[in-house]
Amino acid sequence: MNSDKNRVVPRVWLITGCSTGFGRALAEAVLQQGDSLIATARKPEQLGALIDQYPETAKAVRLDVTLSQDIQTAVDTAIATFGRIDVLVNNAGHGLIAALEEVSDGEMHQFFETNFFGALRLMRAVLPVMRQQGSGHIVNLSSTAGLVGFGGSSLYCGAKFALEGASEALDKEVKPFGIKVTLIEPGAFRTDFNGRSLATAKQSIDAYAGVSSASLQWFKEMNGQQPGDPAKAAQAIIQAVDSPHPPMRLALGTDAMSLIQEKLAWVKTDLEAWQQVTVSTDYPEPAKSAK
């Protein structure tokens, strides 16, 4: 045990999207340090090599985060196999490059099902377990785009902004139960986000070519050249989970740091410039009654 009285060693992790990217790097890291893992993916056969290497501490489970039945099966399997869930990592998701006007109703709903509602369902499914334990840590993979809006990424930013708000509120709801919540906000990392995991809308509108097409071209050119190292990101996430006082938000990468600092400065500038208008909308002070 460490200084955190609720810390259990080895811990049991449930990580979504373990086939590639952040999920795979984190899965490998937690197993290397001796923790136990429910590794999930839509195609669990892609996790075969990982499970073969750690047959006693790793178990692969099929999980499509849009399916409530899959989510409950993953949670039940974790309890049946290891008896508890100490860390949930919501990592599964994908990008979408498109201006808002280019996206259909169906594409909007599908995107939020995977990138937002899936995470909510998983959190809701593990919370009874963590409340009963009196401990637990929920780690949600957000993005720099969870705080900073980028043209050509309206849906992606919308889903990540939503995840940020839900996570911040959840942290206040579950703190009395010994449960912690951390948002991870990576910049550009060398995962397949810029490649296989990046989708586009079925419809394109020429008027937005300077936004959507330019954004897509940037992502393609950056693919394989991103400055962030997923293995180092995995260690940073573990460090946050290890901490008795983990951050609510953890930005990863020098690009993330720079972009978030610019956003905070912009918000502060607008707030101060419009302060007089902001405070003018209150009712006037009620008149004091005569004595």
Indicate if 156 belongs to the active site. yes
Question: Between vectors from CA 78 to CA 74 and to CA 116, what angle results, nearest 5°?
Answer: 40
Least confident range of 14-23, 119-128, 215-224, 240-249: 215-224
Q: What is the pLDDT of residues 58-91, one digit of tens each?
A: 999 999 999 999 999 999 999 999 999 999 999 9
Q: Which of 19, 59, 153, 156 is catalytic?
A: 156
Q: What is the CA radius of gyration of the chain?
A: 21
Position 98 pLDDT exceeds 60? yes
Contacts of 66 (CB under 8 A, 6+ apart): 113, 114, 117, 118
Position 253 pLDDT exceeds 70? yes
Q: What is the pLDDT of residues 163-205, one digit of tens each?
A: 999 999 999 999 999 999 999 999 876 666 544 556 677 888 8
Q: Average pLDDT for residues 83-111, to the nearest whole number?
A: 93
Residue whose token pair is 């109703």? 105
Q: What is the pLDDT of residues 115-156, one digit of tens each?
A: 999 999 999 999 999 999 999 999 999 999 999 998 888 999
* CA 286/CA 288 separation, integer angstroms: 6
Exposed / middle / buried, residue 91 (Cβ in 10 Å: 0-12, 13-18, 19+):
buried
Position 3 pLDDT exceeds 60? no
At position 148, the amino acid (one-letter code) is V
| Residue 35 φ/ψ, nearest 5 degrees | -80, 170
Give CA torsion, residues 188, 191, 195, 200, to 10 deg. -60
pLDDT of 290 reads 61
* CA 161/CA 193 separation, integer angstroms: 18
Q: In the chain, where are the structural domains located?
A: 12-265
pLDDT of 218 reads 60
Distances (CA, A) of 85 to 116, 253, 287: 21, 29, 57
Q: Which of 19, 142, 167, 215 is catalytic?
A: 142
Q: Average pLDDT for residues 229-257, to the nearest whole number?
A: 94
Indicate if 160 belongs to the active site. yes
Position 224 pLDDT exceeds 90? no
The reply to whether the predicted model has a pTM over 0.75 is yes
Residue 218 in tokens = 């940037």
Position 95 pLDDT exceeds 50? yes
Q: Which of 36, 143, 160, 167 is catalytic?
A: 160
Position 1 pLDDT exceeds 50? no
Domain 12-265 falls in which CATH fold? Rossmann fold (3.40.50)
Residue 203's CB: how many other CB atoms inside 10 A? 11
